Structure 1
Amino acid sequence: MTVSSASALTFVEIKGNNRYQTSALIADKQNYTTAILVNSTKSIADGLSASALAGAANAPILLVKQNEIPADVELRLECTNKIYIIGSENAISKNIEDRLKKSGFIVSRIGGKNRYETSVNVGNEVKRVKGGASETFIVNGTKGEADAMSISSVAARDSAPVILTDGKTISADAKKIVNSIPNRYAIGLQGVMDESLVESVGATRVGGKNRFETNKKIINTFYKNVASYYLSKSDQLVDALAASPITKYSPIVLVNKNSDKSVLKGAQKMTALGGIDKATIESCKKAAQ
């Protein structure tokens, strides 16, 4: 981690040698006894729904491989007694699950036959842990990964289930959990979330013409008078996934060199996640002025 300060702006980087070490460094920002494991290579879609559970259980999201827990991540499990595994055995193997159980951890796997079912099962666990939910977010689990990352900060802050759909239809089980929650938001415009789906669940649509505009509208809708932001590469979302538990009150801004960064106007602190190129970082700093 590196820190720099120029005038009123404080700039911080959380950057490991790889995605696994970065997730471990992010976990160091939390006090926790529960952890969530996600395979970011095979099942980032499964992980999209994990942000709400991370908020509900006060747990970091740690990145692992199908058959391996990297050493940096393993070290962060030493302070835990309960571990959630998100996804099927194709994502994180039974060998990993069995080894953790043998080591004395309470292990709960939450998965499903696909990413959509997994999100419903994660959502039900969020409701169980928190005793209910007041908000839920419906996203496109195929074309809306960036949108789901943009909403992950709010989902973690409010313990609000993130329900994945194909953008056109919603399963009976998914509709059941959505209808049980009073405040519903569909993330993305018509090309991502069909109007018929949005109307069928009585959701309020929040979206823009691209991932950057949607990201900005989410921040303007759910955050007021913030001066601290987390920056994440717009085309590599894995760092944003791991960061969702620590971004509850400082939203994630998706950036690249040429993206609209006007939302950063007046920022007093920025934290860059993972390796963001120097030109993009400099343009973010300039946008804060």
Structure 2
Amino acid sequence: MKKIISTIITSVLILSTTISSSLALSQVEIKGKDRYETSALISDKQNYTTAILVNSTNSIADGLSASALSGASNAPIFLIKQNRIPTSIELRLECANKIYIIGSENAISKNIENSLKKSGFYVNRLGGKNRYETSINVAKEVKKVKGGASETFIVNGVKGEADAMSVSSVAARDSAPVILTNGEKIHPEAEKIVKSIPNRYAIGLDGVMSEKLVKSLKATRVGGKNRYETNKNIIQKFYRNVSSYYLSKSNQFVDALSASPITKYSPIVLVSKNSDKSVLKGATKITALGGIDKETIDNCIKAAK
């Protein structure tokens, strides 16, 4: 039986409020000293008994499909290393009794799996010989946990990481499987899963998802000329009347992956200094993830007003 550790964890959480004559805007930042601590701080926003572990260093592709599972099992997504679980995350795991490991032993070692089992956790590894098989096995687990899904997302697992992060909020909200492809063809087992779900969405334009593949799956395409436009189109299609958003760096997706469980009803906006931020118009709350620079945040505040 695991020892219950009672500890006071000091979160690096910065809160400030900006007021204008037409809008009261709440601005929050969730930022740890590194990606691991940031994922730990994000988990403090949840009550959970299940946790998901993803290696964010060399197997982020495996983690792309984890957002649906996080929603189905109400589980935070923790970023760890192949052979080590950072201390800040070890503390948070004491809240869980079940742990999913996403990826093969090349992603997260057998030593970590064995250590967790010895500590009394029930551990379920969901992996495959590649990222495509991993997404299939995660989708199967989502079905076991939640039952049949009403929608699924097909993404490019090679060059569609930004697109996958854009749908992570919706996938978590709706427990909608995220299936990885190479943009040209799909694994037969994955195709079977996709066609068993009534509403299918292919994320990205032709350069990411071929028209032939989209037609063969009878999917609806959602995309844009770049990651920002795709992100905006996803938010406008799947969210209505929202005024709270999470901001994530457009070139670093690990924070968005960690945040997917808490962004079900407040979508993630991918931002950079010069990105289109018009989707933020009318926002009353923005939460910046993982140390976005001040100039970009200021530009987001201007766009909200």
Task: Render the CA deviation track for 1:165-203: whole Å, top value 9, x for unaligned.
Answer: 000000100101001111000000000000000011110
- 1:92 and 1:170 map into 2 onto residues whose CA distance is 26
Structure 1 partner of 2:295: 279
Task: Render the CA deviation track for 1:12-71: whole Å, top value 9, x for unaligned.
Answer: 000000000000000000000000000000110000000000000000000100000000
- 1:231 and 1:104 map into 2 onto residues whose CA distance is 36
Structure 2 partner of 1:63: 79
- 2:14 and 2:294 map into 1 onto residues whose CA distance is 14
1:92 aligns with 2:100: no
Structure 2 partner of 1:110: 126
Equivalent position to 1:76, from 92, 97, 111: 92
SS in 1 for 2:231: helix
Letter in 2 for 1:59: A
Question: What is the count of residue pairs matched by the alignment?
Answer: 289
Task: Render the CA deviation track for 1:144-163: whole Å, top value 9, x for unaligned.
Answer: 00000000000000000000
1:160-199 equivalent positions in 2, closer than 5 A: 160-199=176-215
Equivalent position to 1:121, from 115, 137, 143: 137
Equivalent position to 1:2, from 10, 14, 22: 14
- 2:264 and 2:69 map into 1 onto residues whose CA distance is 13
RMSD (Å) for aligned C-alpha atoms: 0.4
Segments of 5+ residues of structure 2 without an aligned counterpart are 1-12
Letter in 2 for 1:262: S
Segments of 5+ residues of structure 1 without an aligned counterpart are none
Letter in 2 for 1:141: G
- 1:159 and 1:75 map into 2 onto residues whose CA distance is 27
Equivalent position to 2:50, from 34, 39, 42: 34
Structure 2 partner of 1:247: 263
- 2:145 and 2:207 map into 1 onto residues whose CA distance is 34
1:132-211 equivalent positions in 2, closer than 5 A: 132-211=148-227
Letter in 1 for 2:271: V
Letter in 1 for 2:179: I
SS in 2 for 1:125: helix
TM-score, scaled to structure 2:
0.94
- 2:152 and 2:90 map into 1 onto residues whose CA distance is 32
Task: Render the CA deviation track for 1:73-128: whole Å, top value 9, x for unaligned.
Answer: 00000010000000000000000000000000000000001000100110010011
TM-score, scaled to structure 1:
1.00
Letter in 1 for 2:192: K
